[in-house]
């Protein structure tokens, strides 16, 4: 059985009217029993349909017919009960946007763990309890993660047969920063993204941008959206330079540089990659 919002509103207003009339005419009703019976019959006829709706209407009567409350308090209750759903939806969206990552736990989908058979073609694992690893933030992590944050960078160098089509592959899989750095990113405003560029003699060879993300202290990036492949000449390797920049772009399109990483032939990371071709090497590199 349905109970429309308009009928519910009408019933509540009738309850308020009865309460107001009762206070003003209580003396007259004591002196005139016949008049009291007429008012009672009219009141019961107005709420005859409401009684058929059972517990819902009874709970509303109990809530709104408290003679200890003032009229202002009852009107506030009535307005709050008919609040638009958009306000509730807006509050839930704000709660989602204000979430913070405070810990992580990893579960591996191993076939050997699914030992319990529930029904045909349905198996499950027993209860697996693991400790949540705390993501520590603050001044203690700044020397390790860097003041401006850091990324997990993977470099790989592939050699071609003639040496003119060598490939340098750069991948970023993780981003991490301290809590203080994240708050600085939030003050700048807008979303963040990583931009990877490859230069040869200061000439642009290849570039790419990762997907945008909100300021956070820890993020795992998809390799497909944060990988750069550049074709270079073997004899120009000493003139190559890889640059990774952490950028922010606000709603009006203003871009802000938040940190950068430069890797050239002088860096130890680059020398290690060139000396071990076709072998991916992964390191955590801090932004400057």
What was the pLDDT predicted at 99? 64
Asked if the model's pLDDT at residue 17 lies above 80, the reply is no
60 in Cβ contact with 8 (< 8 Å): yes
What was the pLDDT predicted at 234? 83
Percent of the chain with pLDDT over 70: 60
Mean pLDDT of 195-224: 88
Per-residue pLDDT tens over the stretch 123-182:
888 888 888 876 654 434 334 556 888 999 999 998 888 878 888 999 998 999 888 898
Asked if the model's pLDDT at residue 32 lies above 80, the reply is no
**pLDDT higher at 32 or 205:** 205
Asked if the model's pLDDT at residue 195 lies above 50, the reply is yes
What confidence tier does 258 reach under pLDDT thresholds 50, 70, 90? very high
Domains along the chain? 5-90 (no CATH), 142-286 (2.60.40.150)
Q: At residue 81, what are phi and psi to the nearest 5 degrees?
A: -70, -25
What sections of the chain are H helices per DSSP?
5-31, 33-46, 48-51, 55-64, 71-81, 85-97, 142-145, 179-188, 268-275
220 in Cβ contact with 174 (< 8 Å): yes
**pLDDT higher at 73 or 172:** 172
Look-up of token digits 């609040």:
83
Using a cut of 0.75, tell me whether the model's pTM lies above it. no
What was the pLDDT predicted at 45? 54
Mean per-residue pLDDT over the chain, rounded = 74
Look-up of token digits 């642009």:
204
What was the pLDDT predicted at 131? 83
Mean pLDDT of 61-82: 51
Per-residue pLDDT tens over the stretch 80-134:
544 555 555 555 555 555 666 677 788 777 778 888 888 888 888 888 888 887 6
Mean pLDDT of 24-53: 53
CB atoms within 10 A of CB 242: 24
Asked if the model's pLDDT at residue 220 lies above 80, the reply is yes
Per-residue pLDDT tens over the stretch 233-249:
888 888 889 999 999 99
148 in Cβ contact with 286 (< 8 Å): yes
Asked if the model's pLDDT at residue 4 lies above 90, the reply is no
What was the pLDDT predicted at 140? 41
What was the pLDDT predicted at 196? 93
Mean pLDDT of 250-279: 89
Which helix (H) or strand (E) segment is 57 a member of?
helix 55-64
Mean pLDDT of 245-272: 90
Q: Distance from CA of residue 230 to its chain's centroid?
A: 34
Distance CA 242, CA 170 (A): 8
What was the pLDDT predicted at 242? 92
Percent of the chain with pLDDT over 90: 16
């Amino acid at each position: 059985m349905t109970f429309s919002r308009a009928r519910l509103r009408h019933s509540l207003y009738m309850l308020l009217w009865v309460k107001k009339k009762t206070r003003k005419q209580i003396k007259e009703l004591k002196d005139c029993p016949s008049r009291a019976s007429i008012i009672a019959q009219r009141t019961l006829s107005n709420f005859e349909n409401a009684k058929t709706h059972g517990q819902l209407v009874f709970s509303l009567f109990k809530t709104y017919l408290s003679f200890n409350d003032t009229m202002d308090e009852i009107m506030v209750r009535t307005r709050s009960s008919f609040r638009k759903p958009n306000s509730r939806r807006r509050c839930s969206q704000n709660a989602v946007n204000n979430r913070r990552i405070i810990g992580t736990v990893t579960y591996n989908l191993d076939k050997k763990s699914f030992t319990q058979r529930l029904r045909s073609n349905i198996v499950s694992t027993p209860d697996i309890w693991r400790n949540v690893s705390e993501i520590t933030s603050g001044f203690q992590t700044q020397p390790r993660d860097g003041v401006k944050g850091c990324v997990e960078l993977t470099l790989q160098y592939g050699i071609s047969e003639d040496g003119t089509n060598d490939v340098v592959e750069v991948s970023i899989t993780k981003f991490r920063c301290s809590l203080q750095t994240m708050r600085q990113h939030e003050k700048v405003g807008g979303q963040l993204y990583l931009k990877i560029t490859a230069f040869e003699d200061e000439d642009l060879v290849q570039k790419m941008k990762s997907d945008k993300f909100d300021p956070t202290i820890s993020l795992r990036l998809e390799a497909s959206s944060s990988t750069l492949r550049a074709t270079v000449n073997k004899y120009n390797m000493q003139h190559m330079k890889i640059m990774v920049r952490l950028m922010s772009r606000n709603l009006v399109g203003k871009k802000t540089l938040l940190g950068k990483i430069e890797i050239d032939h002088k860096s130890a990371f680059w020398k290690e990659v060139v000396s071990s071709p076709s072998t991916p090497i992964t390191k955590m590199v801090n932004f400057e």
